[in-house]
Chains A and B, each alone.
Chain A
């Protein structure tokens, strides 16, 4: 089991690559990219081998092979494996492979760092390394000639290292380390083109929003640490929580705190606002953030510490809990927002938020395996869609992401991108037999079976909406006429919805301005953002959409294959439940109930998704029919559109509401305190210091110190003069002094002793 025991290599390789790229990257022929790609490919190989060995271990345990069982140690304490549940399905217990070394020691508390490898970690490690490898290869061409090319690859490597560290983390503290590394890297990469104010604003927003949640993580980890008897170990925490050794109240507090972190990191309502703005970063970064790292970290945290949440939120009882509620809300609001976006990446961003809602809802409804499986499949098709969008902007729409002004009709021009994008869309919409179908369906079925019927319905509505907005996105991008050619200065496509929005906002300069900014989003990085179309005329008059080079399309094809067949790992009706067998923990986690595959529910969800897609496609194909101009004619529709366009005014709430109200009185109070209290203290201290200094100068420095110094000199001089007379140069006198001194010494000795 070499690769399971040495899984620490997987995160360390990209971390080392990061350091090497920073140090010598610029001097290398590939500008550092080759180091990053080599490291991540090595990590990929290691994780695939680790996965193979893990499967071997599971099979051994299933065959009653005792070799996989036994004791293992973490930080010197040995943990006895939980007795296999008698008569249960999971008689074969597969222990995680845990290794830990002492990181540092403080008093009696030891902080370890190590690896905790089980099915969950292995699955995530494989996903992260696959996506990250493909993203880096994609970036080779996509980012060619970028002014911070080397730093970009360094950032990607560190980002991946952070996520891998989080995934294999042995204890919660190490998990926090990976979590924060990712926070930093997302900031660096989203703000990669920081010369534009909007990009650096987006980076700051992402950083601060996730930091809001990170406070919850810190608090939650502390609660868990003390609740579990002063241990950070994930395994021990889980075991104690499962066995009921931690009080329910402590677990409830810990779950709430940790869930706040999940809301921040995984873009759940109401902290989802940073995710769409994070599109300011380069597209491969978006793919990495949305598919493999960052946002998945929050869901992974729940899956990892599931016993804490399971008991804390009483998930087993089937009651409504914060997790399922937030997940459900997120599915719907994010899906609704995706309808009004003109930026293809923002559509995908909101779809990510919505899909993360599914995962969180699944976890909240006790569908652990289904949710983790959804992480797994979602990673592939979401990375595929994002890289597809990158390919479109790279070769099809001239660095613009605006579907309305610079895309359309790309189906013929970019066949590979088109077909892979279609596969990704079908997988995302949950059409049989693509990857998304299996995992999403499993979440819905499990939610229904565990007593969360309402949320199953929400999930079905979400599936309908997902198919609808993705069809809109595909139609605008690939069908119809190409609109990117010669739109000089004409930013506003004659889209009824958009015109309606502008119409509705007549006299509202702010909205129009904001709209322009939103429309102008592009991935140029050459400092000429302005209007997407206006920038075109600038340096390429005869731009013609064409298919992307192989470096871009090969990753797309690989991901498309994974998006097609990845779901078959856990295809219940075919009797394949490999993912469940390999990944589902059998020890230190609660027993998961499994719902049987239901043909009726599957058919309903697929039909809903198909209906959503077909309706939207038909509407667009028939030029929207009577719907054209609806937002202009109907006050209700335009109000709804404006409401969605402004993202439920959540950003306004945060910026003008929360921030303003915190800023204003708090700032005033702080200013007053600053002026009167702090300044008073400072001035007083200053004045006092001056007085003390003056007194010290006059009395101590001038008299005592100077006196001492002068006195020492004088004393040395005069004593020297006296001793000088002793140096007669006559040996006999020296001898006399010697003997006299010896005699006096002897006398003292006699008297004293």
Chain B
């Protein structure tokens, strides 16, 4: 089985995620885009792991990423919630108080 399909799909997902992160103003959507990026990476890891046959390190790595991603989303949503409470908005382009 070729791994091209997996890699292409991963690249597509990655680009979608990047696009979402850069363009979207809604913080929740940005978080979701980040999930897409992470999962595209997972896809790549699993594809290469499959190609390497018995080596399970790719699987382990992917599981790690899933676990960390879950934690990250938890923290991220908490942040978004707090921002919303403070500002009644979750539009990221308005959060420029750390301007240099």
Residues of A participating in the B interface, judged by any CB pair closer than 8 Å? 723-732, 735-736, 739
Contacts and interface: CB of A to CB of B under 8 A. Distances in A.
B96 A732 contact: no
Contact of B92 (A723, A724, A732, A739): A732
A729 B24 CA distance: 16
B22 A732 contact: yes
A725 B96 CA distance: 13
A739 B95 contact: no
B1 interface: no
B22 A730 contact: no
Given A732-B92, A732-B93, A727 B98 contact: yes
Nearest to A735: B21
Contact of A731 (B18, B23, B95, B100): B95
Given A735-B21, A739-B18, A739-B22, A730 B100 contact: no
Contacts of B24: 732
Given A735-B22, A736-B22, A739-B22, A729 B92 contact: no
Contacts of A725: 100
Contacts of A739: 18, 21-22
B95 A729 contact: yes
A484 B99 CA distance: 106
Contact of B97 (A723, A729, A735): A729
Q: Sort A-B residue pairs by CB-CB distance and give the 5 closest, nearest first.
A: A727-B100, A729-B96, A729-B99, A729-B98, A724-B100
A739 B96 CA distance: 20
Interface residues of B, number: 15
Interface of B: 18, 21-25, 30, 92-93, 95-100
Nearest to A736: B22
Contacts of A729: 95-100
B7 to A, nearest CB: 14
Contacts of B98: 727, 729
Contact of A730 (B21, B23, B95): B95
A95 to B, nearest CB: 72
Nearest to B24: A732
Contact of B96 (A723, A726, A730, A736): A730
Contacts of A723: 100
23 contacts: A723-B100, A724-B100, A727-B99, A728-B100, A729-B96, A729-B97, A729-B98, A729-B99, A730-B93, A730-B96, A731-B30, A731-B92, A731-B95, A732-B21, A732-B22, A732-B23, A732-B24, A732-B30, A732-B92, A732-B93, A735-B21, A739-B18, A739-B21
Contacts of A736: 22
A86 to B, nearest CB: 84
A112 B82 CA distance: 78
B14 to A, nearest CB: 10
A731 B24 CA distance: 11
A713 to B, nearest CB: 20
A725 B18 CA distance: 23
B97 A730 contact: no
A730 B92 contact: yes
Given A724-B100, A726-B100, A729-B95, 11 more contacts: A723-B100, A727-B100, A728-B96, A728-B99, A729-B100, A730-B92, A730-B96, A731-B95, A732-B22, A732-B93, A735-B22
Nearest to B92: A731
A662 B98 CA distance: 86
Contacts of B97: 729
A239 to B, nearest CB: 72
Nearest to B97: A729
Contacts of B100: 723-729
A725 B93 CA distance: 16
A368 B98 CA distance: 99
Nearest to A720: B100
A722 to B, nearest CB: 11
Contacts of B21: 732, 735, 739
Nearest to A723: B100
B76 to A, nearest CB: 12
Contacts of B25: 732
B52 to A, nearest CB: 20
A719 to B, nearest CB: 13
Contacts of A731: 30, 92, 95
A729 B30 CA distance: 16
A726 B96 CA distance: 12
Contacts of B96: 728-730
- The interface centre, meaning the residue of A723, A728, A731, A736 with most chain B CB atoms within 10 A of its CB, is A731
A739 B34 CA distance: 12
B83 to A, nearest CB: 11
Contacts of B95: 729-731
A728 B98 CA distance: 7
A133 B97 CA distance: 89
B93 to A, nearest CB: 6
A487 B97 CA distance: 109
A736 B98 CA distance: 17
A723 B93 CA distance: 20
Nearest to B23: A732
A114 B30 CA distance: 82
A49 B52 CA distance: 84
A735 B18 CA distance: 9
A730 to B, nearest CB: 5
A397 B83 CA distance: 108
Contacts of A735: 21-22
Contacts of A726: 100
Contacts of A724: 100
A732 to B, nearest CB: 5
A726 B98 CA distance: 11
A735 B96 CA distance: 14
Contacts of B92: 730-732
A618 to B, nearest CB: 118
Nearest to B96: A729
A361 to B, nearest CB: 94
A633 to B, nearest CB: 118
A724 B98 CA distance: 12
A728 B100 CA distance: 6
A251 B95 CA distance: 97
